[in-house]
Homo-oligomer: A and B are copies of this chain.
Amino acid sequence: MSGLSFAITLPTWVRSVIDFDQVYESDEDKMDLANALAMGNVAHQTGGPFGAAIFEEATHRLIAPGVNLVVPQNNPTAHAEIVAMGLAGELLGRYDIGDDGTKPAVLAASTEPCAMCLGAVPWSGVSRLIIGARDVDARNVGFDEGDKPADWIVSLEARGITVRQDVQRPQSVLVLNSYLSSGGEIYNTDGGADDA
């Protein structure tokens, strides 16, 4: 062993929110879980107000949850989507969550992914992305979403990844506002706005 290692570990409370045996049938069911993860992260003060969850399309079952863990785990890339993708790979035993298209998977993100997380979507092997709050909703409460290609939906769809926006958006926005009103820690690295 090199001794050069780091781990990402989801908080204990996550177990009380998720159910690997549940059928999360509709997109709204799937987003409700992503929002519950985001809200749990605010309530337990374990990170930023962002949740994500990856589901198998065929069974509607949860593959992996994710929450933002940047501050508590000292990791600038530990956004909810990156955490969910890494955990999905770990639990499935493969880096390609969709298994070369044979096991289609969908990523639910409580807020539109930032530039980094959008860039990760094609690498993860998911074939569908559903989004709660919009980029502007995150910016409205002070989070920085980064510099995205202007036509990112077209780019993802050209890769065979479909995008659906505004799924349970009001509930997702509520989580962002809750974080703000609860005085959640503001984190940033570049002296500018905060990272989503």
Contact = CB atoms under 8 A, between A and B. Distances in A.
A82 B64 CA distance: 20
Specify how many copies of this chain sit in the oligomer: 2
Given A77-B124, A123-B195, A7 B6 contact: yes
Interface string A53-89: 0000000000011000011011111100010011101
Interface stretch (A26-34, A175-183, A186-194): A186-194
A170 interface: no
User: Is the contact region of chain A dominated by helix, strand, or loop, or is it mixed?
Assistant: loop
A85 B95 contact: no
A148 B149 contact: yes
A131 interface: no
A64 B160 CA distance: 36
A2 B6 contact: no
Given A4-B10, A87-B4, A191-B100, A146 B119 contact: yes
Contact of A76 (B2, B5, B70, B89): B89
A122 interface: yes
A23 interface: no
Contacts of A117: 116, 119
A94 B119 contact: no
A1 B6 contact: no
Contacts of A8: 5-7, 86
